[in-house]
């Protein structure tokens, strides 16, 4: 499997947490842990490194979802990464300041993140650095605003 | 010969729903492809932010009319995770049964649609004939054929109607019995074999990397079934095996879904036999959700679907995010179609089981 002899095929939740915390002490915090669910909060600079480690060493072969949240003071991306052997789902939260909406793309690792990142880009305006094709996907090409931001009001509450 | 781009869609007999597949052709051979989606983009996730939590359940039905029960089920599971509430046991059994009926009806709808794509109209008629019984069950249960609006946050809407469980067992037995006909129409047909075997082939490594899920991934030989690997509701207690096939082509995707229909019939029978005969089916939940996040993941008829719900302490969600299996599956169009002839595209994209309602959201 890609020549990595140290790869753990079915790491337990504790093994994942321990491996991540020993390697990224201080930069990646454990948010919460439930059965088959782990939530980390990572610094923006270490996201790609963390994802590479999850994929190459801990056998997280599948990127389930990439989405964004607008917290008004800052933006946030949420990555959900799964392991096929154990069914463990890792959630990675990354805060992004409003004045520099750039984060590393994980598409070079998992091709499945491609459209999710494009979607987050066009709906929130978060730029994914290293993405092969950062273009409009769902919206028309001439949309010049980001409809999922909180500053874009839908009108009335129902 | 000069290469040229051909637009298959937005209105084209092969695509079920409104989307375009742009293909670059060298003679008959596809050399490049570019799927274009977004015609049905309603801003579903943004719409949710303006609504109360229970008001989103009927909207979740509209994500995919073929598998509305799974989508509303997924959404309420996400909200229940946010609230941190336990669902009564009987409600979990009922949800499992309705999910499996939904899986069967969705697969039959797909079977019928792909049957006509491949020129076999009898498959269409026979597929819809079986699906009609599932629709009748849903009408009995909640008065609706497609948009069922049945799951509720904390349980299900109403108690089962009289004799519903007997009707479920009869339905499962009937479908099991009729599967022989469906196999003889498709699997044993030489024309069908020629059109699907070796078409739209993808290796297991590539399928994993590109984010394939559900029956399409299991057709590549990966036994990744969320009902097994990340069990929800009461799937942990049920005895079943995920259907797997090794070909990775259109034929394998067909075989996996046929096998899944049989598995679902078996699961319905197991549930009816073992479920508690009485008990509460719903708990009351407060109007305002706590601050936090809720996450649910289920095995939709089309693959891995996820709901991520963020609550901010009010009665409306701060953000709802949906992972649609077809959103990712459609993005593989280029990889799947390249190198095959244009006449193979209905077989390739048809067997992916595309539903645009959930892809565009």
DSSP string, B245-294: -S--SHHHHHHHHHHHHHHHHHHHHHHHHHS-SS---B----SSPPEEEE
- Other CB atoms closer than 10 Å to residue B136's CB: what's the count? 13
In a domain, B125, yes or no: yes
Only one residue has tokens 């948009």, namely: B147
**Domain span including residue A23:** 13-129
Triad B117, B118, B119: Cα angle to 5°: 95
Q: What is the pTM of this model?
A: 0.90
Among residues A76, A114, A69, the alpha carbon closest in space to that of A96 is found at: A76
pLDDT at A24 > cutoff 90 = no
**How large is the ipTM?**
0.87
Residue owning tokens 């290293």 = A130
Q: Exposure of A21 by Cβ count < 10 A (0-12 exposed, 13-18 middle, 19+ buried)?
A: middle
Determine if residue B119 is left, alpha or beta; phi over 0 gives left, psi from -120 to 50 gives alpha, anything else beta. left
Q: Looking at residues A14-25, what average pLDDT do you find?
A: 83
Contact A87 B295 (CB under 8 A): no
| B 31-50 residues inside an 8 A Cβ radius of A | 37-38, 41, 43, 45-47, 49-50
Residue B271 lies in a domain: yes
Range of the domain at B251: 46-335
The CATH number of residue B257's host domain is 1.10.645.10
Pair B284, B80: CB distance under 8 Å: no
Angle at B119 between CA B115 and CA B123, to 5 degrees: 35
Asked if the structure places residue A106 within a domain, the reply is yes
Instruction: Give pLDDT tens digits along chain B (361 positions).
Output: 688 888 887 888 777 788 888 899 988 899 988 888 888 888 888 888 888 999 999 999 988 888 889 999 999 999 999 998 989 999 999 999 999 999 999 999 998 988 888 888 888 899 899 899 999 999 999 888 888 889 999 889 888 998 999 999 999 999 999 998 888 888 888 888 888 888 888 888 888 888 888 899 999 888 888 888 888 888 888 888 888 888 888 899 999 999 999 999 999 999 999 988 888 989 988 888 899 899 999 998 988 899 999 998 888 899 999 999 988 988 888 888 888 988 888 888 888 888 888 888 8
Residue A145 lies in a domain: no
How many separate domains does chain A show? Answer: 1
Q: Is residue A25 included in any domain, yes or no?
A: yes
Q: Judge whether B10 is closer than 8 Å to chain A, CB to CB.
A: no
Q: Residue A103: name the closest of A66, A137, A73, A71 by CA.
A: A66
Is pLDDT above 60 for A137? yes
Q: Taking the alpha carbons of B221, B271, B53, A37 in that order, is the dihedral positive or negative?
A: negative
Burial A48-66 (b: 16+ CB within 10 A, else e): bbbbebbbbbbbbbbbbbb
Is B126 among the domain residues?
A: yes
Is residue B14, in this structure, part of any structural domain at all?
A: no
Structure tokens at B202: 């993808």
pLDDT of residue B139: 92
Are residues A89 and B295 in contact, defined by beta-carbon separation less than 8 angstroms? yes
Give percent of chain A above pLDDT 90.
Answer: 13
Give the total number of structural domains in chain B: 1
Reply yes or no on whether the pLDDT at A1 is more than 60. Answer: no
Q: Between A114, A138, A158, which is nearest B50 by CB?
A: A158
Specify the 3-state DSSP secondary structure of B10: coil
Q: CB-CB: which of B211, B222, B321 is closest to A67?
A: B321
Report the residue from A87, A115, A139 with minimal CB separation from B229: A87
Q: Does some domain include residue A82? A: yes
The CATH number that applies at residue A87 is 3.30.460.80
Predicted confidence at residue B233, as pLDDT, reads 85
* Domain presence at residue B119: yes
Contacts of A80 in chain B (CB under 8 A): 295, 306, 308, 323
- The pLDDT of residue B171 is 93
Note whether A115 contacts B: Cβ–Cβ < 8 A.
yes
- Provide the pLDDT for residue B307: 92
Chain B residues touching A111 at Cβ < 8 A: 209-211
Would you state the pLDDT for residue B268?
A: 92
Q: Map residue A132 onto helix, strand or coil.
A: coil
Does the CB of B209 have a partner CB in chain A at under 8 Å?
Answer: yes
pLDDT bin (cut points 50, 70, 90) of residue A3 is: low
Confirm whether A80 is domain-assigned: yes
Q: Is residue B355 part of a domain?
A: no
Q: Does A35 touch chain B (CB under 8 A)?
A: no
Does residue B28 belong to any structural domain of this protein? no
| Cis check: omega of the bond before B347, within 30 degrees of 0 | no
The pLDDT of residue B228 is: 86
Work out the burial of residue B276: count CB atoms within 10 Å of its CB; fewer than 13 is exposed, 13-18 middle, 19 or more buried: exposed
Please determine, for residue A2, whether its predicted confidence score (pLDDT) is greater than 60: no
A135 found inside a domain: no
């Amino acid at each position: 499997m890609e020549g990595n002899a140290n790869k753990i095929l079915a790491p337990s939740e504790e093994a994942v947490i321990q491996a991540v915390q020993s390697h990224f002490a201080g930069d990646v915090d454990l948010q919460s842990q439930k059965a088959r669910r782990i939530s980390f909060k990572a610094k923006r600079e270490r996201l790609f490194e963390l994802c590479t480690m999850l994929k190459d060493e801990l056998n997280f072969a599948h990127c389930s979802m990439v989405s964004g949240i607008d917290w008004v003071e800052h933006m946030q991306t949420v990555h959900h990464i799964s392991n096929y052997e154990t069914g463990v789902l890792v959630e990675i939260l990354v805060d992004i300041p409003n004045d520099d909406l750039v984060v590393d793309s994980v598409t070079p690792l998992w091709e499945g993140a491609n459209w999710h990142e494009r979607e987050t880009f066009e709906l929130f305006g978060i730029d994914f650095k290293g993405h092969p094709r950062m273009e409009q996907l769902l919206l028309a090409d001439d949309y010049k605003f980001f409809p999922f931001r909180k500053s874009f009001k839908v009108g009335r509450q129902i | 010969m000069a290469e040229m781009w051909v637009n298959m869609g937005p209105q084209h007999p092969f695509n079920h729903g409104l989307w375009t597949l742009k293909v670059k052709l060298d003679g008959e051979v596809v050399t490049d492809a570019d799927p274009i989606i977004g015609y049905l983009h309603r801003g579903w996730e943004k719409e949710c932010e303006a609504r109360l939590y229970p008001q989103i359940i009927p909207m979740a039905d509209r994500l995919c009319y073929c598998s509305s029960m799974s989508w509303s089920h997924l959404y309420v599971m996400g909200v229940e995770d946010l609230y941190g509430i336990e669902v009564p046991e009987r409600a979990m059994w009922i949800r499992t049964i309705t999910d499996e009926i939904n899986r069967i009806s969705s697969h039959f709808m797909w079977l019928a649609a792909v049957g006509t794509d491949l020129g076999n109209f009898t498959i269409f008629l026979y597929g819809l004939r079986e699906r009609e019984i599932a629709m009748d069950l849903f009408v009995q249960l909640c008065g609706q054929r497609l948009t069922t609006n049945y799951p509720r946050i904390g349980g299900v809407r109403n108690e089962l109607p009289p004799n519903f469980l007997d009707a479920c067992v009869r339905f499962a037995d009937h479908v099991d019995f009729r599967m022989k006909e469906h196999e003889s129409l498709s699997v044993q047909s030489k024309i069908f074999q020629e059109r699907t075997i070796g078409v739209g082939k993808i290796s297991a490594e590539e399928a994993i990397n590109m984010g394939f899920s559900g029956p399409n991934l299991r057709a590549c030989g990966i036994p990744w079934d969320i009902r097994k690997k990340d069990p929800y509701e009461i799937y942990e207690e049920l005895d079943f095996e995920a259907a797997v096939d090794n070909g990775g082509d259109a034929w394998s995707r067909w075989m996996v879904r046929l096998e899944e229909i049989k598995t679902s019939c078996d699961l319905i029978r197991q549930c009816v036999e073992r479920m508690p005969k009485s008990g509460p089916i719903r708990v009351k939940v407060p109007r305002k959700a706590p601050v936090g996040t809720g996450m649910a993941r289920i095995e939709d008829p089309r693959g891995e679907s996820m709901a991520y719900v963020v609550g901010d302490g009010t009665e409306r969600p701060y953000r709802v995010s949906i992972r649609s299996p077809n959103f990712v599956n459609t993005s593989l169009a280029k990889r799947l179609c390249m190198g095959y002839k244009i006449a193979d595209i209905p077989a390739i994209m048809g067997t992916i089981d595309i539903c645009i309602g959930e892809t565009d959201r």
